[in-house]
A and B are shown apart, each in its own frame.
Chain A
């Protein structure tokens, strides 16, 4: 029998400052039959449980050192817009016997690594699914931590983003966020709106269906003003009103989802119509340069026909 480490009981108290909490090794709690990746058709390595590696933290100095472009990729075939569903923080923490917020903190580090790679390799837009509209159902303790984590991350990283030419945009129904976070988001967007190296779109309190419904409301206003007629409603008009209209490349070319979950979960519903989907079994905190390289290599090998003959 393997050692079964129970997670720290979660009570309705503020979480301690556990960013330095030790990460312990714990075997999977799944039945051995289901531990392995058994859908060979999807790209990505098999899930292997190892002690968490000492991942390099992207700090201020390393922002200035771009990652060299990998020889196995072609610059002309790089996707312009990559979208990521950062799934698996909770499971990552649970496997290590830690509370969920340890996983979210590790997830932030993983995101910073990815942003650095995107800046270095010429990707123009990176959209990340930070917080779904459905996530409001999570326990209040976890929600409070997540919202504070967003504030802390924006606060500590805004200088680096601003100096590295990263433009920040936030999409989603931000009206439910605390006023302080809303203000911080607004300031970050204003501060970085002239940047053009990479546009980082953070989807917070977002759902693809909500995006389409709010686009309909905007179109309703135009119909009321007599600018458009109902007969004029077409795909282009809807695209112009979606929240991703903040970028020149609103539709992702590549969508990556970590943790092995094989679904889209209401993310960028309209925009993902022709995106290449890559499902990686790694949990988000473990998603690094190798996994991203593999996803990009897979993308570059695909034949995108858009319904016509190739």
Chain B
């Protein structure tokens, strides 16, 4: 009898909390709701130490906090959520800790794919962002399976950065940009991978995965680029196409991308020269091109640094660093961040209109 009463009380309490949360989100929704929030989930180990927990339990508590935060974000109407789950720098940790994190990742990915999980409740599509080749085979397989299983979801998006650093993302984007320029316009999407292996990349949910088709020793990139460059020209300042394209004179071209005006030198190149990589080329090849730039970046545990996370994408993003450790993050932190975003957003919009 007491157990039933206790159960009813907790259900009632849960219902009240949920009602209060929906009211709060209703008020917040009167202003601009961010499209994309990114999280650096810092503080799991310190949380475990603080609570005298076993080493791995801090990360498990962190996963629970992640699920809560996802629920809050999706309820509020945030479409994209990005989390920094595992950095390439984290491979420097003790091998046992790295292995336990890999095991935890695999376990939680499978948990996320279960029928009753938040992924299915909100129709969340999963993207795993990073240098996935660095992951162990079972984890990579779980990652690819999760991306394929959720590819049809289109309500919300969860981007999990694993084996990721922003600089590594930029380097790979530059490499892919050149390979893309070199092959020219082709019907198939064959590209050369970095180790000279012919591969096919899929654009879409699995864009980070490479299916190896054949091994082929081919280093003749420059010859290919020569063939392609003779078909290309540079746009002049008025935006027209110049089909002559063999003079080696500099021109200035203004490209507007993501609201940032950039000047790229459109160099008309002679036959045999490499095409110029422009800002738009690189941004198309970024792993994070599947989502808009974040509106808010939240880093827990009070550390105010980016730690090589989304350096390219957070240039105009609001940064917020609550002192709470990641497993301690709660609704109040999200509400505070959104209110701050709304205040800064109105100021930024006013500045943009003034200019």
Contacts and interface: CB of A to CB of B under 8 A. Distances in A.
Contacts of B344: 261-262
Contact of A273 (B167, B262, B277, B315): B167
A160 B295 CA distance: 43
A273 B195 contact: no
Interface in B68-107: 87-90, 92-94, 97
B260 interface: yes
A263 interface: yes
Nearest to B257: A209
A307 B167 CA distance: 14
Contacts of A279: 304, 319
Given A207-B262, A231-B194, A262-B344, A270 B167 contact: yes
From A210, A213, A234, A278, name the one whose CB has the most chain B CB atoms within 10 angstroms: A213
A130 to B, nearest CB: 17
B355 A138 contact: yes
Contact of A238 (B89, B170, B267, B278): B170
B291 interface: no
Nearest to A173: B263
Interface in A256-276: 261-267, 269-270, 272-276
Contact of B274 (A134, A220, A309): A220
A134 B260 contact: yes
B306 interface: yes
B159 interface: no
Given A263-B318, A302-B303, A210 B262 contact: yes
A308 B89 contact: yes
B170 A270 contact: yes
B262 A274 contact: no
A281 to B, nearest CB: 13
B308 interface: yes
Interface string A123-134: 000000000011
B171 interface: yes
B94 A266 contact: no
Interface stretch (B15-23, B174-182, B237-245): B174-182
B174 A235 contact: no
Interface string A38-78: 11011100000000000000000000000000000000000
Contacts of A43: 304
B323 interface: yes
B304 to A, nearest CB: 4
A285 to B, nearest CB: 19
Given A235-B168, A265-B315, A209 B262 contact: yes
B131 interface: no
A277 interface: yes
Contacts of B321: 41-42
Contacts of B92: 306-308
Contact of B306 (A136, A267, A277): A277
Contacts, number: 160
B221 A230 contact: yes
Contact of A263 (B167, B278, B304, B319): B319
B194 A42 contact: no
A173 B279 CA distance: 15
A282 to B, nearest CB: 17
A181 interface: no
Contacts of A224: 222, 272-274
Contacts of B274: 220, 223-224
Contact of A307 (B45, B87, B311): B87
Contact of B304 (A42, A212, A213, A309): A42
B248 to A, nearest CB: 12
A233 interface: yes
A20 interface: no
Given A213-B279, A220-B277, A223-B274, A269 B315 contact: yes
Q: Which 4 A-B residue pairs are closest in the complex by CB-CB distance?
A: A307-B89, A266-B315, A308-B92, A273-B308
Interface of A: 34, 38-39, 41-43, 133-134, 136-138, 173, 176, 207-210, 212-213, 216-217, 219-220, 223-224, 229-231, 233-235, 238, 261-267, 269-270, 272-279, 302, 304, 306-309
28 contacts: A133-B263, A207-B260, A207-B262, A209-B315, A210-B262, A213-B282, A217-B265, A223-B222, A224-B274, A231-B195, A238-B171, A261-B344, A263-B316, A265-B316, A266-B260, A266-B316, A273-B166, A274-B305, A274-B306, A274-B308, A275-B306, A276-B304, A277-B305, A279-B319, A307-B89, A307-B93, A308-B93, A309-B94
Interface of B: 45, 87-90, 92-94, 97, 165-168, 170-171, 174-175, 177-179, 194-196, 219, 221-222, 260-265, 267, 272-274, 276-279, 282, 302-308, 311-312, 314-323, 336, 340, 343-344, 355
Given A212-B312, A231-B195, A306-B92, 9 more contacts: A39-B336, A209-B315, A220-B274, A224-B222, A238-B167, A264-B314, A270-B170, A273-B165, A307-B89
